[in-house]
Structure 1
Amino acid sequence: MRKLGISIYPEHSTLEKDKAYIALAHKYGFKKVFTCLLSVDGNQDEIMSTFKETITFANELDMEVMVDIAPRVFGALGISYHDLSFFANLGAYGIRLDLGFTGNEEAIMTHNPYGLKIEINMSNATQYLDNIMAYKPNTENLVGSHNFYPHRYAGLSYSHFVTCCELFKRHNIRTSAFVNSHEATFGPWPVTEGLCTLEMHRELPIVTQAKHLLATGLIDDILIANAYASEAEMQALSGLNPQMLTFNTELFDTITELEKKIVLDEFHFYRGDVSDYLIRSTQSRVKYKQEEFKPTFTPNIRRGDILIENELYGQYKGELQIALKGMENSGKTNVVGRIAETEIFLLDFLEPWGKFQFALK
């Protein structure tokens, strides 16, 4: 089961605001909270008391809190990586180790008596995980997450991201990555040029970012990296179907009511005999073979266009297609709509026999 999550930064906000944000996320079915304790400057007891109250509140809503603590804070608080009782007493679901050890220490930590999850950094594409696996960890308590990047152009390339993820999927380790809210205003650091794992996501709508991560098949959990995301963004993310790729779509004024019904209401899957030019969903031509499909809007075809064959195409009339390449239109194909420009790249992630649907943007 895939989970959605948020991030909070208590050092840069207030307890009341964080609680309200957690409660809002819970309302939309979010299950995870990422937080980090970057320093204990000031009144240490007060800081830790606030931190614990926040975690307790999230736990009462059955949410999982993952705590990232900077190495210098371990020293300041007198915490040993070999004694994780501090985090258990906080009520944390687990701890994130941004900086690793030799592999043996991480493996030992996964056998902690509290059942705490040990989350390791996924973004470096080294043999780090293989090394941990050699020391026989309790894999039930070992998870991975990517970094996030506030500096524009510093986020991961997609090819590197895939390489990193595949190292974890090979060992069946649960994975997570971060998306960027365009309504949020802060993260853990002063730089605020967005906050995401993949650089290609920085300017994309948050739902498109999440669709992409799901479509890769490489990421289990998706967290919003910056705070505070809007209620509309949370609601949109909560409505995603992880089992079916949904394309935001514009329908043209020339579309008929029957064509609109085919696009929006019928069940679509990518026919298995693959073409370089078209994704074909053929059931509508069977279901509606007795109906009329007059020629309407038949311009030349662009990648991302949504097509329905008209009656000039004989037995193909009523078949829905998505264009993968530009093509000349012979007049036999009605262009009824178009996938949102920001989501056309998602066509590359729809595989033969994959299920898909359209939603009006």
Structure 2
Amino acid sequence: MKKLGISIYPEHSTVERDKEYIELAHKYGFKKIFTCLLSVEGDKNKIMREFKETISYANQLDMEVMVDIAPRVFGVLGISYNDLSFFADLGAYGIRLDMGFTGNEESIMTHNPYDLKIEINMSNATKYLENIMAYQPKKENLTGSHNFYPHRYAGLSYAHFQKCCEEFKKHNIHTAAFINSSAATYGPWPITEGLCTVEMHRDLPMAVQAKHLYAMGLIDEVIIANAYASEAELNALSQVDSDMQTFTINLHDTVTELEKKIVLEELHFYRGDVSDYLIRSTQSRVKYKNEEFKPTFTPDIRRGDIIVENELYGQYKGELQIALKDMKNSGKTNVVGRIVEEEIFLLDYLAPWDKFRFTL
């Protein structure tokens, strides 16, 4: 399973409220916390004391806290790239550099004696990573994460996102991306119109955003960017299978008990001889070849429909399929259900021999 994370912004909240949120996320199996130290304006000692208290609480729950540091905070706190004891004393798991150095400094930082992770920005598609790699970093201490975008329409295009991820996976660098909670109300900045890495995710349910990232096979950590996600969202996200595509569906009233059993209880796989029109899962026609499959609901077929061939289709009777295109129905095919509209695009990420399941 991939790691799940939340984000907290202590400058805009209280220690008590952040602790409650951390405890709730821990309850649902979340392991990562992203947080920002964007400024130390005001009472510096109080800010740092509260920051340390929150991180200490997270560590007690075996959660890993990644601290995003603005370059100017390095200067204000007198921190040097070759002495990261400040972050070790904070109890941080690692630090994220939104703006980098020349490559050599990042490499030196990965060799820190505390084994703090050094997380770099994944969203720019430059030769930044290649440059760091040329300086021989301690690779297990180098990770990457994308930016997130509070401005609607400013998030990454899918093509650019994929290109950036592939550069990091080429070097087997651990990757992270951010998704948006519709229940959350704030991030690190005053303006927020949702908070996500990929623009196409902005208005999707949180679990669907995660399913998409998992389906790509390029992201190791999925982190909720804004605060605070609802308990229902945390629960839904914790239920998403990161290793197998699972489609949320609605079943039609006409579905038979046997068809329902086939849809919901069988493990399906995408047959290898690929069609433009259908994803075929053929084992049900073998397992239930002696059962009855009477014609029931046989309207014309739309992309995203879940269908089971009825007995008029001879040897194909009992075979489950997912429609990839709209098709005429000859009356030999029972339309038993449909993938929810916001997940139909995920069909594009199923590959031959992939396993998949359905859930209501």
TM range (shorter): over 0.9
Offset of 1:76 from its aligned partner?
1.1
Equivalent position of 1:298 in the other structure? 298
Offset of 1:192 from its aligned partner?
1.5
Equivalent position of 2:162 in the other structure? 162
Equivalent position of 1:54 in the other structure? 54
Q: C-alpha deviations, 1:160-209, integer Å up to 9, x for none?
A: 00000000000000000001001100000011200000000000000000
Aligned 1:135-284 pairs, distance under 5 A: 135-284=135-284
Q: Which runs of 5+ in 2 are unaligned?
A: none
Equivalent position of 1:87 in the other structure? 87
RMSD (CA atoms): 0.6
Equivalent-residue separation in structure 1 for 2:245 and 2:341 (angstroms): 16
Equivalent-residue separation in structure 2 for 1:255 and 1:165 (angstroms): 41
Offset of 1:130 from its aligned partner?
0.5
Equivalent-residue separation in structure 1 for 2:99 and 2:83 (angstroms): 17
Equivalent-residue separation in structure 2 for 1:43 and 1:98 (angstroms): 24
Equivalent-residue separation in structure 2 for 1:201 and 1:252 (angstroms): 28
Equivalent position of 2:111 in the other structure? 111
Equivalent-residue separation in structure 2 for 1:77 and 1:101 (angstroms): 18
Offset of 1:75 from its aligned partner?
1.2
Letter in 1 for 2:224: I
Equivalent-residue separation in structure 2 for 1:184 and 1:11 (angstroms): 16
Equivalent-residue separation in structure 1 for 2:350 and 2:252 (angstroms): 23
Offset of 1:242 from its aligned partner?
1.2
Equivalent position of 1:308 in the other structure? 308
Aligned length: 360
Letter in 2 for 1:24: L
Equivalent-residue separation in structure 2 for 1:182 and 1:296 (angstroms): 39
SS of 2:151 mapped into structure 1: coil
Q: Which runs of 5+ in 1 are unaligned?
A: none
Letter in 2 for 1:35: T
Equivalent position of 2:130 in the other structure? 130
Q: C-alpha deviations, 1:300-342, integer Å up to 9, x for none?
A: 1110000000000000000000000111111100011100000
Letter in 2 for 1:44: K
Q: C-alpha deviations, 1:35-90, integer Å up to 9, x for none?
A: 00111111000000000000000000000000001111111111112210000000
SS of 2:174 mapped into structure 1: coil
SS of 1:175 mapped into structure 2: strand
Offset of 1:239 from its aligned partner?
1.2
Offset of 1:275 from its aligned partner?
0.6
Equivalent-residue separation in structure 1 for 2:105 and 2:78 (angstroms): 17
Equivalent-residue separation in structure 2 for 1:206 and 1:263 (angstroms): 24
Equivalent-residue separation in structure 1 for 2:103 and 2:78 (angstroms): 22
Letter in 1 for 2:276: D
TM (norm. structure 2) is 0.99
Equivalent position of 1:67 in the other structure? 67
Equivalent-residue separation in structure 2 for 1:335 and 1:4 (angstroms): 36
Offset of 1:145 from its aligned partner?
0.2
SS of 1:357 mapped into structure 2: strand
Offset of 1:294 from its aligned partner?
0.6
Equivalent position of 1:14 in the other structure? 14
Letter in 2 for 1:167: E
Equivalent-residue separation in structure 2 for 1:54 and 1:138 (angstroms): 28
SS of 2:101 mapped into structure 1: coil
Q: Does 1:96 align with 2:135?
A: no
